[in-house]
Structure 1
């Protein structure tokens, strides 16, 4: 409920604030690649039991992967006209936020270490590839009002309080694709290790 709308807002801002209009499409490609890889890994497990009992892996952590794809690019975009040192600091914060997201997934016991680490690696690979490919582009700066609106929209999305039902959708889809009665569970996978 936060990351997907924010990614869409970023695509609009990239198109608006850059002379290279293709940059928005490259961003959409990077973000959608993260979502597709995460979804396919979850469908592989939920529908077909493809995972690793040894590493307690049932698919990439979506929160970790999508955050690691989004936040570095967002802070790069918003800091477009700052001095190089401040821009670097902003992008560093963009890399720090996904690490905190990953730690929260572990603290809440929603994911294993392998799922968080691979999710972060996936997302950081995509965001870093995007940033390296566009390192010479300096998006036009934001006025204080524009910056306030750009930062306010994600905060409003967080405050909306609705939880995305992505996991439930993937479970139903996986069961249909695999033609099974119920989705695979972590408990079933870990029994294979015994």
Structure 2
């Protein structure tokens, strides 16, 4: 028995040193050469923090593009999905409620035109991006609210499209915070 316990204890001690100590230090070192030293990408406007580029935020005023809904209440400390499947009655009720709310604020949009990312929460509950279609479907509301030509808003959306990584990985998307900041710069 002694011949099995001693090697197990040694292996456990080595794993603790390597995986809890050395690995953590390596990751910390890599973070130090990253932008913002691993603190995340803060978005500043006129010297004030407006938000974080990689974290979803709630935009509910009609003059802004709406974000993707969050099951976590946009709380990064409690990042999570709802864990409710598409046949769950509570989930379906939430989605129907989001659709109805969206239609009230966007009367020119047909129910069938609403992209799923505007009425369903992401797996993390903190997705900062929406689809291009999700932004374009909101153009009329924002143009009317801001008294700006829809073409001007549409051009801003087109300019804000982030292409897939290396043109292959992922889909086209739009960061809602960045788009809304650019929207505030319009005259």
Which structure would you say has the larger RCO, counting Cα contacts within 8 Å and 6 or more residues apart?
A: 1
Higher CA-based Rg: 2
Whether TM-score is above 0.5 comes out as no
Q: Which has the higher helix share?
A: 1
TM-score (norm 2): 0.24
Q: Which has the higher strand share?
A: 2
